[in-house]
Structure 1
Amino acid sequence: MVIDNRYELHPAASAFIGSLRDDGRSVNTQRTYAIRVAQYLTWCEGFGVDWGDPSFRQLSSFKSWLVEEPLPHRGRKVATTRKYRAKGTANAILTTTVGFLTFCGLGEWAPASVVPKLTQQKMLAFPSSGHDQGELRQFRSVNTRKLKFKVAVPGYEWLSRAQVDVILASAEHARDRFLVHLMAATGARIGEALGMRREDMHLLPDSRMVGCPVAGPHVHVVRREGNVNGAVGKARQPRWIPVDEEFAGAYAAYQHERDEVPEAGASDFVFVNLFRAPLGSPMKYHSTYDLFKRLARRAGFEANPHMCRHHAATEWIRSGVRPDIVQGFMGHVSPVSMNPYIHASNEEKRKAVEMVAARRETGK
């Protein structure tokens, strides 16, 4: 929810967040969007802008303010330098603001005239491989946001096999090792992993006794609404991913550790609190991200849950698994979504250059 300076609910903002909830967006996403909308409304309040019907000039001022206004200092130490919001972060806030104003312009909280201020038509000079232009190329023109900074596309981070091994060795508890193992072996998203139930773990050679026709050890990824920990999987289509004996061994070690906490027995979630209150309750987003921060500090390099997902896809592709099968494992609707998950290691890049040099020397 979003409240104003009188501690009253902001009707339009709360309705917008409610629409995200109705659309099945995770609690984490709802919270992030609420904070961004609150930033926009606070700016409007401070500068005397009608939040529901801003002029394009005022919206441009908000865009500039996002990167020019110093961020508030946090912590007890005296700040020696000022920190500013990155343009990529500002773009994320602008995206949410545009979505919020579009929602309001199509409803009862803002005039319909606000919507044309937010987007413009653009002819795609180089359409992406996944864009359907139509038989007469009638869909080559698309609506794009007017409010955004031009920023360089950031590189996608991933973990190598050796780095995953270091992360696993850095984990103190079997539960934490299994969480890393599961995400790196199945490519599951963080929301999908935290929403998994124990009934999704089919690690016997034959699962027909539990009504599952899939042969061999595997894990089911199922989107469930209303999880008490707020976890929501992005993919709406259920899928299953085969796993190996090492995976089953990591799960067995975790179950032994879990059995030592009586409170965990009542929960059907796979990942639960074992070392801090409330014991036995399902793990949440923030505690999982904190866990990865601790593991990254011990390992000595950056690591987060999504990097494990990139690792899984990269390992499958390098092993020669067909792209359509990898797409199914990852839960992607479009094959274009696979492009960011194709990574080349430093060794592979060096080998490619040396191969060309060798061919040049031999004259072939």
Structure 2
Amino acid sequence: MNYLITVVIAARNAEQTIERAVNSVCETGDAKILLVDDYSDDDTVRLAKSRGGDLLEVVTPREKIGLGNARQAGLESVDTPYLMWLDADDELLAGRLDRMLARLEKGADLVFDSAELCDGASGKFIKNLQIPSFLWEGMGLYRSFERNYLPGPAWPAARVEFARKVGYDPEQNACEDTDFILRALRLGAKWELLSEVGYRQFAYETSLSRDLTHQRRFLARAFSKHSFLELEAFLKGKGVEAGLLAWCLCSNALFRGDWPQADLYAREAFGESAKESEELLLPWRVGFDWLSCFIRGSVALLNGKGEAEALLERCVELEESPDALNNLGVVRAKLGKRNEAVDCFEKALQLMPGYLDARRNLENAEVAANITTHPLRRFESRSGY
């Protein structure tokens, strides 16, 4: 049989979940299965073969480097026109293959859909992760240069010929999916977004994606491949209006840890002459004044500027949100106002009990240094921090 699409699974020591993943492909539609075995020393390969049979092929990367390298090895080994990624601890849902393949055959280079989130330990359903509605509007996926808004950037279907032009960076050991998308967008990718839930993700406490320090380091690496001048010219060429463009660059700079550049773009996006942008506000569900005070106050805090306290106080007056309270607490801790700082962290945790920055700051209020650089996400599918 001549298959049109290959489901590619990169795996290392996934014996606990690989059968479920492979089964989901076999039950979902007509596809080849490519297991990229990233030097497993458990029963992953045998179990995958026992379920996949003749549909399943196994390849091993030339070196044991990391996920970016494993993805590139898989991309190089596919012999069908299209591919679909599947994590070794997740599964496909019925209808996904046919839906996404139809969009690829009509000319899309990349297709993304929504997902169902389940607890890894119990299998219990948690919630659906919908693609945010604002990604269908205005800037669309170009907002990926601002931050990742997609519930599953690692799970798209793709046109193989185009994906090989982009390639995966073997040294990108986290955020390799976001890195791929950013470079794909710069190369003119044609994308499709689907509202249907076609993917089931299982969340585990031990997942590397929960290591925020690791994730931010590699996101900074991915963002840094696009200079601010290049990115500004690219987004202007896509018709992005000035205020949203400045915010996108500010957000990008914050993830890179380039505080002076973030300050420059924050003043452009939220300064006295800045115009309120409805599209800019779509993800946050906050007023322009609140967002302006939060961003300018947080950037001032990161740059050690004195106006940070007044701006964040104003932000808390507008809305007593956990992120604004946390950053105001950091300002007050730096000013030696320990009791006031502790009060801010405690209020932040009352509003969001699992908020990591506030918890760490409360544990060591004298030297509180965990600044939340971006507003906490307020839309359902990506609200966790």
Q: Same fold (TM over 0.5)?
A: no
Q: Which has a greater percent of strand?
A: 2
TM-score by length of 2: 0.25
